[in-house]
């Protein structure tokens, strides 16, 4: 038997799909059971946000330990218990329902011998890509001016200088699953789309739909100089921390718009604020900020007239794409068959 311990809510249909992969598979539903432990070990700002009313957990510590002792696989979400490896002697694979990996840094999963996979490239790709394009249009069409005029109680038409998206350039820093979909949508509006990945795409035939070029990380500075809109879609790693710093913002075109759906840590928020205050940037759309699991947004950005901030909600939509049960089932077949799995975290790379 292969026991999968599920720590986050899934639908009956998703559970049936997982158990249909192989007769040996059993899904044990422990959604909410560990929430009390999580509330004791994670910042209260994070647990209030993500657990809301489900904060007490279920069962006794002994019952939860028994579940962990019997499991081979854990299907987890954020936030999760910090000590899953030490309490799960048979654990071989942990799947992170979210796309990012950095929220596992403080757990004993990080750097362990357990296989850890994520939903990178699957998790809410379409809604987040639409958010990126909507953010570009928000400032491109100067909807922020309409809000300012409403607050003032009168139109000031002299302050409206909108631009058309067609023939402008969108730079996607981190052209993975989300980034490539955002690029496709931007190209459909007539934009020229460029981007970066860990490895440059040298053959035009290999470029994702809508992209005119994709460079390696070292090519970002040159792309910033020609881009009207810049979207940060990178994974948060040691290499990406503060990649959007004062030099990066200075390299951007006058009047560019910056959009961040990644994590807050790739952005130097002091440098971003300075670029906005000076008028070098037209605006910034931020679905994330530094320390978002620990405290409220920085007031000077949240209240800035040229900043649109949302509560890490870019992935929400009326379509259900958050879990990616197909990816998990595909990886489960690979796990049972001993073949390579998708989205396995490489500890030295950081995702």
Q: Which residues pair with 281 in a beta bridge?
A: 256
* Positions marked active-site: 263, 292, 312
Determine the pLDDT at residue 149. Answer: 94
The verdict on 133 and 95 lying in the same domain is no
Determine the pLDDT at residue 321. Answer: 56
227 vs 171: CA distance, rounded Å: 6
3-state secondary structure of 198: coil
Distances (CA, A) of 66 to 71, 73, 88, 288: 9, 14, 9, 37
Determine the pLDDT at residue 342. Answer: 95
The verdict on 159 and 87 lying in the same domain is no
Which residue range forms the structural domain that includes residue 261? 125-309
Q: Is 345 among the domain residues? A: no
Determine the pLDDT at residue 245. Answer: 98
Chain-centroid distance of CA 272 in Å reads: 20
The verdict on 129 and 118 lying in the same domain is no
Would the CA dihedral through 196, 201, 207, 210 be positive or negative? Answer: positive
For residue 201, give both structure tokens. 């795409």
Determine the pLDDT at residue 92. Answer: 98
Nearest to 227 by CA among 173, 148, 273: 173
Encode the chain (351 residues) as per-residue pLDDT tens digits.
999 999 988 889 999 999 999 999 999 999 999 999 999 998 888 888 877 766 788 999 999 999 999 999 999 988 999 999 999 999 999 999 888 888 899 999 999 999 999 998 777 889 999 999 999 999 999 999 999 999 999 999 999 999 999 999 999 999 999 999 999 999 999 999 999 999 999 999 999 999 999 999 999 999 999 999 999 999 999 999 999 999 999 999 999 999 999 999 999 999 999 999 999 999 999 999 999 988 999 999 999 999 999 999 999 888 765 567 899 999 999 999 999 999 999 999 888
The verdict on 287 and 210 lying in the same domain is yes
The verdict on 53 and 180 lying in the same domain is no
91 vs 69: CA distance, rounded Å: 8
153 vs 59: CA distance, rounded Å: 56
Determine the pLDDT at residue 157. Answer: 94
Torsion from C-alpha of 210, 211, 212, 218, nearest 10 degrees: 170
The verdict on 50 and 152 lying in the same domain is no
Q: What distance, in Å, lies between the first and last C-alpha atoms of the chain? A: 30
Q: Is 343 among the domain residues? A: no
120 vs 98: CA distance, rounded Å: 7
The verdict on 129 and 8 lying in the same domain is no
The verdict on 301 and 326 lying in the same domain is no
The verdict on 129 and 111 lying in the same domain is no
The verdict on 18 and 113 lying in the same domain is yes
The verdict on 102 and 251 lying in the same domain is no
* Strand ordering across the sheet containing 115-117: 25-29, 2-6, 73-76, 93-96, 115-117
Q: Is 50 among the domain residues? A: yes
Determine the pLDDT at residue 54. Answer: 67
Which CATH number belongs to the domain containing residue 242 in this structure?
3.40.50.720
């Amino acid at each position: 038997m292969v026991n999968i311990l599920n720590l986050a809510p899934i639908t009956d249909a998703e559970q049936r799909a997982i158990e249909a992969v192989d007769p040996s598979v059993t899904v044990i539903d422990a959604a909410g059971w560990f929430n009390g432990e999580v509330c004791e070990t994670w910042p209260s700002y994070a647990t209030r946000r993500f657990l809301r009313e489900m904060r007490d957990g279920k069962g006794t510590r002994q019952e939860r330990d028994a579940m962990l002792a019997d499991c081979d696989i854990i299907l987890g979400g954020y936030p999760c218990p910090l000590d899953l490896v030490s309490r799960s002697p048979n654990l071989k694979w942990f799947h992170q329902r979210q796309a990012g990996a950095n929220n596992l840094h403080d757990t004993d999963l990080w750097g362990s011998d357990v296989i850890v996979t994520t939903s990178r490239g699957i998790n809410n790709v379409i809604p987040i890509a639409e958010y990126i394009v909507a953010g570009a249009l928000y400032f491109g069409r100067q909807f922020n001016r309409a809000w300012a005029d409403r607050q003032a109680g009168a139109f000031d038409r002299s302050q409206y200088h909108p631009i058309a998206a067609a023939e402008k350039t969108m730079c996607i820093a981190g052209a993975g699953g989300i980034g490539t979909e955002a690029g496709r949508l931007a190209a459909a509006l007539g934009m020229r789309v460029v981007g970066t990945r860990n490895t440059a795409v040298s053959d035009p035939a290999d470029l994702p739909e809508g992209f005119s070029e994709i460079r390696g990380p070292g090519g970002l500075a040159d792309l910033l100089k020609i881009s009207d809109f810049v979207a940060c879609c990178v994974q948060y790693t040691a290499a990406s921390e503060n990649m959007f710093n004062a030099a990066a913002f200075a390299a951007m075109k006058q009047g560019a718009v910056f959009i961040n759906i990644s994590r807050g840590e790739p952005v130097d928020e002091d440098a971003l604020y300075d670029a906005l205050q000076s008028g070098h940037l037209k605006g910034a759309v931020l679905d994330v900020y530094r320390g978002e699991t620990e405290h409220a947004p920085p007031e000077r950005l949240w209240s800035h007239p040229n900043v649109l901030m949302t509560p890490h909600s870019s992935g929400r939509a009326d379509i259900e794409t958050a879990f990616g049960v197909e990816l998990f089932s595909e990886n489960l077949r690979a796990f049972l068959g001993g073949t390579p799995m998708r989205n396995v975290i490489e500890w030295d790379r950081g995702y």
